[in-house]
Amino acid sequence: MTTSVLEAVRSEPKAAAAAPVHIEATGVSKQYGAKGVLALDQVSLSVRDGEFLSILGPSGCGKSTLLRCVAGLERPTGGEIRVHGEPVRKPPANMGVVFQRDVLLEWRSILDNMFLQVDFRGEPRSRYMERAHELLDLFGLKGFEKAFPAQLSGGMRQRAAICRALLANPDLLLMDEPFGALDALTRDQMNLELQKIWSASRRTILFVTHSIGEAVFLSDRVVVMSPRPGRIAMTLTIDLPRPRRMMVREMPEFALYCGQIRALFGDMGLLKDE
Amino acid sequence: MNEDVTRLRRIWDMCAPTATIILMFVIWQVLVGVFHVRQVILPAPSAILEALAAQPGWFMQEGLYTMLTMLIGFGLAVVVGIVLAILIVEVKLLENTLYVLIAALNSVPKVAIAPLFVIWLGTGYGPKIAIAFLIAFFPIVIDSVLGLKSVSKEMLDLASSMRAGQLAQFWRIRLPTALPSIFAGMKVGISLALVGTIVGEFVASDHGLGYIILTAQGTFETAQIFAANILLGAAGIVLFWGMTLLERRCVPWHASQRREM
């Protein structure tokens, strides 16, 4: 039975491979200062439309730097990044970013926080009102529209931050260790919710994390990076049935993927398991 | 039962400060009576009240003069202080020049330059406003710079990722983030402005509560000195309270303003 399910989903990555390229990074390097730290060294990567791709690595491997370069918040010192064929020179339109900290504005209610970008653009809020309420409903924040961030728990705050990133319906969602500050249980719950919203809309998600389990659970592909200078050490296609439930984590295939990554970390000398 | 206790507690919290002040005056009155302290050394509260009641119009007029001078000086300090703080934060060159200069000048005792202002500006409103301005300006500018710089990098990244312009970022993110600090500076500034005004009136004036204190000293009218000081104290409390109210209105989200939710 397991094999038939696996076979059924194995066809999926092939279909994804046919999708047009969304993000194309070619030989991207980033050096801080003339003789400073080389954070990224010749990183090439292509992400397809609707793909869920995780960048996994230890702290200081440049995974956040790569994401920031895609977001147009930093300029690579070498190579080029294209989003839908356009070279990234400033933050691309149609992009939502979720940071590790929720960065909600304390003086705005949850609903007003969601409208930050709309306010920046000077667009009428009414255009997005319906979608805002849908998102809040979807993320279990119904009834908290008028609440202020200080009144919410860490998990709820991060949910609000994700709602904010999704309001303008971006086709690209960049997430920089979004659940790193949450407790384990809330983190699992958020993984399930994120998978749900991704499955429903199939927007491209670039997800940076240092959690092996989280990356394997969520992704179509996991890109593992080595520390200083940041290079791609391994790319792993995750062939696990979707929608994935928490139980997937108990499957031998899941353990195998995680084991492969852990072994690689071991080879890099990052994990000393005597 | 529990509700009654909280209600009693609230009433107590409200009355306690007033009760303390009243108690202090009662003890003062009793001690002066018991030990027969001479009025020229320490007048009893009743004598101070008499002095106030003897010329209420005069005290009121001079008090308003002082308050008006002080408010003009403080208002100027707020406007100039915040505008300068914005420029210092936005223009790197100013931070390395002007801000360093301001920080250095801050250590000069402003009171000591009061006589200079009399030479420059005469004996009217001018020098008092100038001193009130100068003394209130420093905490406002320094706290505002601090507040404007306290915006987190991630917050600005978020705004950039939303393709927000510099001006929009300032109004929607930098300024609101800085408001609690700006208010902290203004609260210190408003108390100092009152001090500055009185110093100005000491140096050269024929009006104001500072002038009353100085002339009363010459004629040993100690009760009048105390009356003027009590008015000043009351004005200080009202001003600080007013600033706190304004702060609650403008910065209701700030942690120090938050009531139990």
Q: A69 in a domain, yes or no?
A: yes
Q: CA geometry: angle at A87 spanning A83 and A93, to 5°?
A: 55
Say whether both A55 and A181 belong to one domain.
yes
Superfamily of structural domain B57-257: MetI-like (1.10.3720.10)
Q: Which residues of chain A have pLDDT under 70?
A: 1-18, 274
Give the end of a domain, one of A152, A170, A188: A170
A93, A105, A151: residue with CB nearest B176: A105
Say whether both A70 and A114 belong to one domain.
no
CB of A88 closer than 8 Å to CB of A165: no
In DSSP notation, B118-177 reads: HHHH-SSHHHHHHHHHHHHHHHHHHHHHHHHHT--HHHHHHHHHTT--HHHHIIIIIHHH
A107, A117, A148: residue with CB nearest B162: A117
From chain A, the residues in CB contact with B251 under 8 A are: 107
Q: A205 in a domain, yes or no?
A: yes
- Quote the pLDDT of residue B4: 79
B162, B168, B258: residue with CB nearest A150: B258
C-alpha pair distances (Å), A119 with each of A115, A164, A169, B91, B173: 6, 12, 15, 26, 12
Say whether both A51 and A132 belong to one domain.
no
Say whether both A43 and A122 belong to one domain.
no
- Quote the pLDDT of residue A17: 55
Number of domains into which chain A is organized: 2
- B159·A71 Cβ contact <8 A: no
- Segments making up each domain of chain B, as ranges: 57-257
Say whether both A261 and A126 belong to one domain.
no
B91: distance to nearest CA of chain A, Å?
Answer: 21
B161, B172, B252: residue with CB nearest A119: B172
Q: How many CB atoms sit inside 10 A of residue A180's CB?
A: 16
- B154·A99 Cβ contact <8 A: yes
Say whether both A151 and A183 belong to one domain.
no
> At how many degrees (to 10) do helices B45-54 and B222-250 cross?
90
- Quote the pLDDT of residue B212: 92
Which domain range does residue A157 map to? Answer: 107-170
- Quote the pLDDT of residue A132: 93
- Quote the pLDDT of residue B196: 92
Q: A14 in a domain, yes or no?
A: yes
CB of A225 closer than 8 Å to CB of A56: yes
Instruction: Establish how many alpha carbons lie within 13 A of residue A164's alpha carbon, considering only the half-sphere containing its beta carbon.
Output: 32
Rg (alpha carbons) of chain A, rounded to whole number: 19
Q: What is the pLDDT of residues A177-208, one digit of tens each?
A: 999 888 889 899 999 999 998 988 889 999 99
Candidates A21, A25, A70; CA nearest to A206 is A70
Q: A273 in a domain, yes or no?
A: no
- B253·A97 Cβ contact <8 A: no
Give the end of a domain, one of A170, A185, A203: A170
Say whether both A155 and A244 belong to one domain.
no
- A151·B261 Cβ contact <8 A: yes
Q: Is B173 on the interface with A (CB under 8 A)?
A: yes
Q: Is B258 on the interface with A (CB under 8 A)?
A: yes
Q: What is the pLDDT of residues A138-179, one digit of tens each?
A: 888 999 999 999 999 988 999 999 999 999 889 999 999 999
- Quote the pLDDT of residue A31: 87
Question: For residue A69, what is the nearest residue in chain B, using CA coordinates?
Answer: B161
- A107·B158 Cβ contact <8 A: no
A95, A105, A151: residue with CB nearest B161: A95
Q: A99 in a domain, yes or no?
A: no
Say whether both A71 and A191 belong to one domain.
yes
CATH number, domain at A67?
A: 3.40.50.300
Q: A272 in a domain, yes or no?
A: no
Q: Please tell me whether residue A221 adopts helix, strand or coil conformation.
A: strand
- Quote the pLDDT of residue A3: 45
How buried is B130 (Cβ within 10 angstroms: 0-12 exposed, 13-18 middle, 19+ buried)?
Answer: buried
Q: Please tell me whether residue A61 adopts helix, strand or coil conformation.
A: coil
What residues of chain A have any CB closer than 8 angstroms to a CB in chain B?
A: 68, 71-73, 90-91, 93, 95, 97, 99-101, 103, 105-107, 116-117, 119-121, 148, 150-151, 174
Q: Which residues of chain B have pLDDT under 70?
A: 1, 255-261
- A103·B154 Cβ contact <8 A: yes
Say whether both A140 and A232 belong to one domain.
no
The residue among A103, A119, A175 with the most chain B CBs within 10 A of its CB, best to mutate, is: A103
A119: distance to nearest CA of chain B, Å?
Answer: 9
DSSP state of B256: G
Say whether both A89 and A118 belong to one domain.
no
